[in-house]
């Protein structure tokens, strides 16, 4: 740093130039030199000052780790984190000398993508091309990045058409020693996908003519022993042209499996592989165009992979949710859990099996019954404790009783909307060809272990509702008389049910939870209820014990 007296000497030098009639350019140059010298002094002072700031005491390794967290926050754009390099000279120096900070290439910005390829040096790269549409696909930047395939660890190419994919992938080498994740290869199946280090494989929407043969797929899976996640969406071999391998392929490291395809293709795939019972499985199984809903084969194949064997304990299903597939398609969807809501601490768990049986055409109740019976006969549900029924299901009460009603350990059922009628009627079904007395019911009625019921979003309108209060009362009383009473009932978000009706239900079930909501009534119905109370002078003196029926209200007992 210059001594203060140096400034006066500089001034004298400048004045000398002026007195010697030096050119204006020389004078300005001398002044600029002095300005730069002062700037350098200021910068040096600021650097010295920053060394005493507490944050400057953090080691470079820790700062680099903090910077790394900011690079993965994409909510503000892929380049927003670079502003941390503008805070101070030390931070910029640390960032520029940390190749791992520059591996997530901003492919939509070709200039910055090229710069990051340089700054990342030999670090493993993340190439994730997800443009808003295929028209915006960053072909130039992706092509440049793929020249570094030997150090790419994650490769995701979505929204690229088949021609673009062909151009990008056809000339790539088969060796990608660092590649762990291959994702979203849409409309194109590369025969070179045999990377032994892959941990995640995601391939979608391959036209039948471009799909791998069974032999190609089986060989690829055998050569990728580290696969932890597989997502194949309309990418399986065409079932008519192939068969399963001679020996099933054991995927020892698999943790998550997602498959979407037609029933024959899914059936072939599950016949060809095996894995540990801890794998989270998602299957969307579709009917062939123009064919009926025949899923028994694929259900049996899935069951074989998750059922107990001499080498595996299999999956013990404790909770099950039944609904219909999304996107307006008909069929059934089953979410299976290894822990029931009764057992889970927080009431929610991750499904171990998400199985959708989709049909393009609308199905009647008879077909829904068949799908239910097929599912029930193929998948082992003997340990089921907790069952949840969504409102759109449309089984007959008989089919429902002869399937779920036979499970000895089923304790809790949640039902919503129109599904309440099917379930309530199923509770009162009895085995056919049985001449039973009430003393014989506990061991022979359907749903023998049921103790907890939850009813949500149900319309109790007498004319066109999901179920009536009278029907629910009859069901609960009948269960009590048979010795298989329900212990607890939850009623939430249900319309056209009054406090008085809830109190009547409490005479049957002491442990009843209600959200105290009375809604769904018309103004006419409200006025009519008020008139009923006003016009009946003997209402307050009414003795419910004299009412018809065997139940004596308030006594909590039946005769």
CA nearest to 347, candidates 328, 321, 367:
321
CA nearest to 338, candidates 347, 323, 351, 348:
351
What mean pLDDT comes out for the span 302-313?
Answer: 80
Q: Are strands 488-492 and 511-514 parallel, antiparallel or unpaired?
A: parallel
For 408-446, the pLDDT digits (tens) are: 999 999 999 888 888 999 998 877 655 555 555 545 789
- Rounded CA-CA distance 429/447 in Å is 10
- Rounded CA-CA distance 31/45 in Å is 21
pLDDT of residue 552: 31
Number of alpha carbons in the 13 Å side-chain half-sphere of residue 363: 28
pLDDT of residue 343: 64
Please enumerate in sequence order all residues whose Cβ is within 8 A of that of 282, keeping only pairs 6 or more positions apart, or say none: 256, 257, 258, 259, 353, 354
At 91, list the tokens: 């931070």
For 50-67, the pLDDT digits (tens) are: 777 777 788 889 999 999
Domain layout of the chain by residue ranges: 4-52
Residues 346 and 269: beta-carbon distance below 8 Å = no
pLDDT of residue 555: 34
Taking the model in full, what pTM does it have?
A: 0.77
What is the pLDDT of the chain when averaged over all its residues? 81
Return the higher-pLDDT residue of 311 and 123: 123
Query: Looking at the chain, how many residues does it have?
Result: 559
For 326-336, the pLDDT digits (tens) are: 766 788 999 99
28-42, 166-180, 267-281, 426-440: least confidently modelled range: 426-440
pLDDT level of residue 118 (50, 70, 90 thresholds) = very high
Interior angle at CA 89, CA 84 and CA 91, nearest 5: 40
For 209-230, the pLDDT digits (tens) are: 878 888 888 988 998 899 999 9
Q: Is the pLDDT of residue 238 over 60?
A: yes
Please enumerate in sequence order all residues whose Cβ is within 8 A of that of 334, keeping only pairs 6 or more positions apart, or say none: 320, 321, 322, 353, 354, 355, 356, 375, 379
Q: Is the pLDDT of residue 528 over 70?
A: no
Q: Is the pLDDT of residue 148 over 50?
A: yes
At 399, list the tokens: 């089919």
- Rounded CA-CA distance 414/426 in Å is 14
At 515, list the tokens: 């959200």
CA nearest to 543, candidates 534, 554, 532:
554
Q: Is the pLDDT of residue 550 over 50?
A: no
Full 3-state SS string of 206-263: CCHHHCCCHHHHHHHHHCCCCCCEEEEECCCCCHHHCCCCCCCEEECCCCEEEEEEEH
Residues 266 and 298: beta-carbon distance below 8 Å = yes
Return the higher-pLDDT residue of 533 and 364: 364
Helix (H) / strand (E) containing 480: helix 469-481
Residues 154 and 184: beta-carbon distance below 8 Å = no
pLDDT of residue 345: 55
CA nearest to 103, candidates 87, 121, 83, 82:
121
Q: Is the pLDDT of residue 514 over 70?
A: yes
Q: Is the pLDDT of residue 544 over 80?
A: no
pLDDT of residue 541: 44
For residue 55, give Cα distances in angstroms to 62, 65, 394, 450: 11, 14, 64, 62
pLDDT of residue 547: 38
- Rounded CA-CA distance 337/91 in Å is 49
Residues 167 and 196: beta-carbon distance below 8 Å = no
- Rounded CA-CA distance 302/305 in Å is 5
b/e per residue 172-208 (b: at least 16 CB within 10 A)? eeeebeebbbbbbbbbbbbeebbbeebbbbbbbebee
- Rounded CA-CA distance 148/175 in Å is 11
Rg, Å, the chain Cα set = 36
H runs (alpha helix) in 97-200: 110-119, 139-146, 162-169
H runs (alpha helix) in 54-152: 60-71, 89-96, 110-119, 139-146
For 459-499, the pLDDT digits (tens) are: 998 877 788 999 999 999 999 988 889 999 999 999 999 99
pLDDT of residue 482: 85
What mean pLDDT comes out for the span 135-154?
Answer: 86
- Rounded CA-CA distance 423/405 in Å is 10
pLDDT level of residue 530 (50, 70, 90 thresholds) = low
Q: Is the pLDDT of residue 397 over 50?
A: yes
For 63-116, the pLDDT digits (tens) are: 999 999 888 876 667 788 899 898 888 889 999 999 999 999 988 888 999 999
- Rounded CA-CA distance 236/214 in Å is 8
pLDDT of residue 559: 24
- Rounded CA-CA distance 24/183 in Å is 65
At 425, list the tokens: 């009627």
- Rounded CA-CA distance 437/432 in Å is 14
Residues 57 and 29: beta-carbon distance below 8 Å = no
Helix (H) / strand (E) containing 303: helix 296-306
Please enumerate in sequence order all residues whose Cβ is within 8 A of that of 339, keeping only pairs 6 or more positions apart, or say none: 318, 319, 349
Helix (H) / strand (E) containing 269: helix 263-272
Query: How many Cβ atoms from other residues are within 10 Å of residue 528's Cβ?
Result: 11
For residue 135, give Cα distances in angstroms to 67, 110, 155: 33, 16, 20
State percent of the chain over pLDDT 70: 79
For 158-181, the pLDDT digits (tens) are: 766 667 777 777 767 777 889 898
């Amino acid at each position: 740093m210059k001594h203060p007296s140096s400034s006066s000497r500089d001034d004298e030098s400048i004045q000398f130039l002026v007195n010697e009639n030096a050119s204006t350019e020389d004078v300005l140059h001398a002044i600029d030199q002095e300005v730069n010298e002062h700037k350098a002094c200021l910068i040096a002072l600021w650097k010295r000052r920053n060394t005493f700031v507490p944050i400057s005491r953090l080691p470079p390794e820790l700062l680099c780790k903090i910077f790394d967290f900011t690079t993965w926050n994409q909510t503000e754009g892929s380049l927003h984190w670079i502003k941390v390099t503008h805070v101070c000279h030390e931070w910029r120096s640390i960032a520029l000398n940390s190749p791992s900070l520059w591996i997530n290439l901003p492919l939509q910005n070709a200039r910055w993508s090229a710069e990051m390829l340089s700054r990342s040096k030999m670090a493993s790269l993340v190439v994730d091309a997800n443009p808003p549409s295929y028209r915006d696909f960053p072909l130039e930047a992706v092509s440049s990045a793929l020249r570094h395939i030997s150090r790419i660890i994650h490769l995701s190419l979505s929204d690229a058409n088949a021609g673009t994919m062909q151009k990008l992938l056809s000339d790539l080498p088969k060796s990608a020693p660092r590649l762990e994740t291959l994702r979203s290869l849409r409309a194109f199946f590369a025969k070179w996908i045999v990377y032994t280090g892959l941990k995640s494989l995601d391939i979608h929407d391959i036209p039948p003519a471009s799909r791998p043969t069974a032999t190609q797929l089986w060989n690829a899976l055998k050569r990728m022993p580290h696969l932890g996640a597989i997502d194949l969406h309309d990418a399986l071999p065409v079932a008519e042209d192939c068969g399963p391998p001679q020996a099933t392929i054991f995927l020892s490291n698999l943790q998550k499996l997602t498959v979407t395809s037609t029933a024959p293709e899914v059936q072939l795939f599950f016949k060809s592989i095996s894995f540990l019972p801890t794998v989270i499985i998602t299957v969307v199984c579709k009917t062939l165009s123009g064919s009926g809903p025949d899923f028994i084969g694929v259900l049996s194949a899935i069951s074989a992979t998750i059922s107990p064997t001499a080498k595996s304990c299999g999956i013990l299903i404790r909770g099950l949710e039944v609904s219909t597939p999304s996107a307006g398609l008909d069929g059934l969807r089953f979410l299976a859990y290894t822990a029931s809501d009764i057992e889970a601490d927080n009431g929610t768990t991750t499904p171990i099996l998400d199985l959708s049986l989709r049909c393009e055409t609308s199905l009647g109740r008879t077909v829904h019954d068949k799908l239910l019976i097929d599912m029930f006969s193929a998948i082992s549900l003997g340990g089921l404790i907790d069952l949840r029924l969504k409102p759109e299901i449309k089984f007959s009460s008989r089919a429902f009783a002869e399937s779920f009603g036979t499970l000895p350990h089923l304790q809790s059922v949640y039902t919503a909307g129109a599904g309440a009628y099917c379930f309530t009627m199923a509770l009162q079904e009895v085995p056919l060809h049985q001449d039973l007395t009430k003393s014989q019911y506990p061991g022979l009625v359907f749903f023998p272990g049921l103790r907890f019921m939850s009813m949500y979003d149900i319309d109790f309108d007498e004319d066109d509702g999901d179920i009536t209060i009278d029907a629910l009362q009859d069901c609960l009383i009948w269960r009590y008389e048979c010795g298989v009473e329900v212990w607890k009932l939850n009623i939430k978000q249900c319309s056209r049910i009054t406090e008085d009706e809830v109190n009547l239900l409490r005479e049957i079930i002491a442990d009843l939870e209600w959200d105290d909501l009375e809604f769904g009534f018309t103004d006419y119905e409200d006025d009519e209820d008020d008139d009923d109370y006003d016009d009946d002078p003997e209402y307050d003196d009414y003795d419910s014990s004299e009412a018809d029926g065997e139940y004596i209200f308030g006594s909590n007992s039946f005769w």
